[in-house]
Amino acid sequence: MMTLVQSAARVFERGSELLDHVDYRLAETDADKEEIYRLRYRAYIHEGAIPPRADGMLTDRFDNLPNSWIFGVYFDGVLSSSLRISVATPDNHETPAVDAFPDLLKPELALGKTIVDPNRFVADPNPHRRIPELPYLTVRLGYVACAHFNADIGTATVRTEHRAFYRRVFLQTALCVPRPYPTLTKPLCLMAADYPAVRERIFERYPYFRSSYFERRKLFERASMQSEPLAPVSLPPFPFEKATVVPRS
| 194 φ/ψ sector (left φ>0, alpha ψ -120 to 50, else beta) | beta
Question: What is the pLDDT of the chain when averaged over all its residues?
Answer: 85
Query: What digits encode the pLDDT tens for the residues 133-163?
Result: 888 999 999 999 999 999 999 999 999 888 9
Q: 192 to each of 92, 121, 139, 155, 197, how far by Cα in Å? A: 19, 16, 14, 4, 12
- Give 154-187 pLDDT, tens digit per residue: 999 999 888 998 898 889 999 999 998 878 888 9
Give the separation between CA 102 and CA 108, rounded to whole angstroms.
10
Q: Label residues 71-105 b or e (16+ Cβ within 10 Å = b).
A: bbbbbeeebbbbbbbbbbbeeebbbbbbbbbeebb
Give pLDDT tens digits for 222-237.
Answer: 865 544 444 433 333 4
Query: What mean pLDDT comes out for the span 204-224?
Result: 89
Cα–Cα dist 178/185, whole Å: 12
Domain ranges across the chain:
10-21+85-121+128-242
- Confidence label for 16 from pLDDT (cuts 50, 70 and 90): low
Q: Which residues on adjacent β-strands are paired with residue 74?
A: 23, 79
Q: Is the pLDDT of residue 125 over 60?
A: yes
pLDDT the model gives residue 228: 47
Q: What is the pTM of this model?
A: 0.83
CATH of segment(s) 10-21+85-121+128-242: 3.40.630
Residue 128's pLDDT is what?
63
Q: What does the pLDDT read at residue 130?
A: 73
DSSP lists the bridge partners of residue 179 as: 188
DSSP run (H or E) holding 23: strand 22-26
Give start and end residues of each alpha helix (H) in the chain.
Answer: 4-18, 30-47, 96-100, 102-110, 134-148, 163-170, 195-205, 213-220
**Chain segment 30-59, per-residue pLDDT in tens:** 999 999 999 999 999 999 999 999 999 999
